[in-house]
A and B are shown apart, each in its own frame.
Chain A
Amino acid sequence: MRIIPKRIEKVKFGLLSPDYIRKIAESKIITADTYDEDGYPIEGGLMDPKLGVVDPGLKCKTCGGRVGECPGHFGRIELSRPVIHVGYAKAINKILRAICRKCGRLLLPPDKIEEYRKNIRKYRKVGRNEDPIVEDLLKNAKMTKRCYYCDEEQEEIKFDKPTTFIEGKNRLSPTDVRERLERITDEDAEVMGFDLEVARPEWMVLTVLPVPPVTVRPSITLESGERSEDDLTHKLVDILRINQRLMENIEAGAPQLIIEDLWELLQYHITTYFNNEVAGVPPARHRSGRPLKTLTQRLKGKEGRFRSNLSGKRVNFSARTVISPDPNISINEVGVPELVARELTIPVRVTPQNIEYVKKLVKNGSRIYPGANYVERPDGSRVSLNIKRTEEIIEKIEPGWIVHRHLQDGDIVLFNRQPSLHRMSIMAHEVRVMPYKTFRLNLCVCPPYNADFDGDEMNLHAIQGEEARAEARVLMRVQEQILSPRFGGPIIGGIHDYISGAYLMTRPGVRFTREEAHQLLYAAGITEELPDPIVENGAEFYTGLQLFSLLLPKDINLTYRAKICKKHEVCKKEDCPYGAYVVIRNGEILSGVLDEKSFGAFAGELLDRIVKDYGTDAAREFLDKATKLAINGITKIGFSTGIDDEDLTTEARERIEEILDNAEKKVEELIEAYNEGILEQLPGRTLEETLEMRIMQTLSEARDKTGNIANEYLEKSSEELGRENSARIMAISGARGSLLNLTQMAACIGQQAVRGERIMRGYVGRTLPHFKRGDKGARAKGFVRSSYKKGLDPLEYFFHSMGGREGLVDTAVRTSQSGYMQRRLINALQDLKVEYDNTVRDTRGIIVEFAHGEDGADPSRTDWGKVVNVSKIIHSIVDQRESENVS
């Protein structure tokens, strides 16, 4: 099949006229039966062979095409009586009210109509939607009590949803409605918003029903040989049956009542045929009780034709499996199981240069790994290599053929994790074929995908075209995505043990022997020459800083405060005993430690500087090697955490208890002051609110104090024991957890809250029967003074569960809400594009912004959102001067 490219200029929607329906109908459907006893479709039945073919091997009786060639043809059902189309019932209602019941003219004086007509023309000319004018016209016409043309008094028309109209006391039958709509003049119809080329008012009442081709409603043959019809066919059978009965009754001259009942039933079936979820109409059901999926249901919603088949489609050349970590591959790579690599293929055009190589792949076939799954001849026909007769195919291969070879190391593929919320959710990786069955990825790319390894699965797409491959490589490769357009800093970077490792290696006093240094550097793949060792008491050693310095560009100068910085009032700068002041001169880290602020995701200053000043290649290399060095360092030093990391001395525990006792006492005092009326009211607050605020404040202060004590003791005890407290190291270096987490584990969990308040709900005047009514004390309202390590008492546990439940509900609600918000936002913004002149325009070329973001800056190339960071520039010049002075 040849594809002729065409450009759709516009799409016009209209109504089908009865004449047109009859014209396109290839067959008049008269019987409700589908197949005869022999299983052949009945002519004039719903499976009429003129409506197209679904069975392979048969030819269409209308066009002679086979399955796939014949698009299917419409049939028609001549309705015995007209029926309202549910989808237009609302429009019919509006129009009925706006026209005269006798002469069918619009209920407005001629000059008014002319005015509206003019306005509509004006709106059309400037390309503005005329609906508001039509809406206004219909509203005004509705008010009129007497016709301007025939002087007929107008009666109120009631619309009884979904398809019934009542005038005064009389019910208007669809025939009456249709007659009235027919009387509307073309001129009037035009100002009511009709495009006469494609619609007339009376076409909203059906007299003939189009029957969709069988290709639209294919029947399924079950294993038992039984046929199962599509929901639409079922519905059409219902319609036909009633239509038939109605016809017979009319012809037999049956009583009006019976005819009306049948007519009503026909209306019901046609209504549900269009839409089975109309309010006020019981949905038509399958024998099993499942509601039928009719026309509207096919199109609507997430599983409908639009969102599920047109906006989004299933794709070939893709794979999905569980992910697992591999710190030994580059951030640019992805580990692909051989199993997957044998299934996914890349088309390679055979040339005189690669023919020998390609033949080797074809020889291997689809079962031996570096092979090929099929070959494509220049005429487009394909030969599968899934068989053992590859020899004869090899003979025939010549330049011009296309070989679909297995995925191999170095191929560029797209890697994705849902929900794809930002552009870093799909990045291009280089393939690394590996054993086993999971996709492997470097841990540094976990943050952009928001991936972990508790069972997450990810998708992989093999790129098929050269253009796409080149584009993916240049624009989508992981290293190109290190800087996030969200905040202008690195989103890809070290996490967890990479941070702890770098911190442990670079802390003041950590030293490595020559052998250790060599081992670490070798493991990290660093081939640089070791610098001069530091000599102390005749022993030579190296510091972690020296090792990391080997990874830096030779001319980098940078000064920043590390994550561990405690923000002392007087900063000792380079002499900081904790190493919180990082100074890098001429590619050498002179002081400080490396932690989250150096190369962590979301925070890494050093990494940020390297990407921005030395490019993505340098950044990728730095990240790969630095993380490897850190991981090997932490392995050498040894690192582990356990519950004893939360052990406190008796003295510390006593001090914590004392603080909590005092806090609870202070709360009692506040309550007493409140009761006596001497509590000082805060401006803009009631007395009750004041009390609550003061209590919350007191308790949170107390919790913070206990946290500080715990931290103090943990720090002290690790000094005394000469053993580090791992939990604390992780918290202060930014690897994982916070000091608050530590506080809650070791000292005190603190106040539990529901809706931002202390816990107030439960029984009358109290949270639990264990308290007196009106008790406003700390414990009675959900203050948990225990620590996770110590354990909670039953009441505390209960309050904690209440707070915890709120957290869970919040996350569930937030994800669904933000998901919908994201969908709407993206639908609104998806076609906007920044043009070369920096303006943001839509597809029509209409300008939305004259400079993107008002400053025309690409946020990912800014310094954490700022176009120029003056202090940083000054710093870099000062740093440069300093380093020049040093050398």
Chain B
Amino acid sequence: MVPKHEILPKEEVERVLEKYNITKGQIPKILESDPMVKKIKAKPGDVIKITRKSKTAGESIYYRVVVSD
């Protein structure tokens, strides 16, 4: 039910930020207290890659940055 969450490695984060020409602040946020964040043990500042099943695109990728609450 819950889509796949994984911590994005540092190099990957750089790549994503460069791809969209953004800073970390422009990525949607996710609270540290989120159950999925706790499960994969992500810390504030980490970028999480979410792979969702999508009706329109089959599979879609979303990024969120962990923030403390």
Contacts and interface: CB of A to CB of B under 8 A. Distances in A.
A847 B56 contact: no
B28 interface: yes
Contact of A847 (B26, B52, B54): B26
Nearest first, the 5 A-B pairs at minimum CB distance are: A855-B57, A854-B60, A855-B56, A854-B54, A854-B57
Contact of A126 (B54, B61, B63, B67): B67
A848 interface: yes
A846 B28 contact: yes
Contact of B62 (A126, A850, A855, A857): A850
Interface of B: 20-22, 25-28, 52, 54, 56-57, 60-63, 67
Contacts of A841: 26
18 contacts: A837-B21, A839-B20, A844-B26, A845-B22, A845-B26, A846-B26, A846-B28, A847-B20, A847-B27, A850-B61, A850-B62, A851-B60, A853-B56, A853-B57, A854-B57, A855-B54, A855-B56, A867-B56
* From B20, B25, B54, residue with most partner A Cβ within 10 Å: B20
Interface of A: 126, 837, 839, 841, 844-851, 853-857, 865, 867
B56 A854 contact: yes
B20 A855 contact: no
B51 to A, nearest CB: 11
B28 A847 contact: yes
A44 B25 CA distance: 55
A120 to B, nearest CB: 15
Given A847-B20, A851-B60, A855-B54, 13 more contacts: A126-B67, A837-B20, A845-B26, A846-B26, A847-B22, A847-B26, A847-B27, A849-B62, A854-B54, A855-B56, A856-B57, A857-B56, A867-B56
Contacts of A856: 57
Contacts of B28: 846-848
B4 to A, nearest CB: 15
A854 B27 CA distance: 16
A494 to B, nearest CB: 30
A126 B67 CA distance: 10
Contacts of A865: 56
B12 to A, nearest CB: 14
Nearest to A846: B26
A153 B41 CA distance: 47
Nearest to B60: A854
* From A845, A850, A855, A867, residue with most partner B Cβ within 10 Å: A850
Contacts of B20: 837, 839, 847, 850
Contacts of B27: 847
Contacts of B52: 854
A800 B38 CA distance: 59
A850 B63 contact: yes
A847 B28 CA distance: 6
Given A845-B22, A845-B26, A851 B57 contact: yes
A853 B52 CA distance: 13
B11 to A, nearest CB: 19
Nearest to B26: A846
B46 to A, nearest CB: 15
Contacts of B61: 850
A136 to B, nearest CB: 13
B60 to A, nearest CB: 4
Contacts of A844: 26
A847 B22 CA distance: 9
Contacts of B57: 851, 853-856, 867
Nearest to A862: B56
B52 to A, nearest CB: 8
Contacts of A851: 57, 60
Contacts of A850: 20, 60-63
Contacts of A853: 56-57
Contacts of A839: 20
Nearest to A857: B56
B61 to A, nearest CB: 7
Nearest to A845: B26
Nearest to A855: B57
Contacts of B26: 841, 844-847
Contacts of B25: 846
A845 B26 CA distance: 6
A384 to B, nearest CB: 54
Contacts of A854: 52, 54, 56-57, 60
A865 B56 CA distance: 8
B14 to A, nearest CB: 16
A876 B6 CA distance: 42
A341 to B, nearest CB: 46
* From B27, B56, B63, B67, residue with most partner A Cβ within 10 Å: B56
Contacts of A847: 20, 22, 26-28
A132 to B, nearest CB: 10
Contacts of B60: 850-851, 854-855
Nearest to A859: B56
A740 B56 CA distance: 34
A861 to B, nearest CB: 13
Contacts of A126: 67
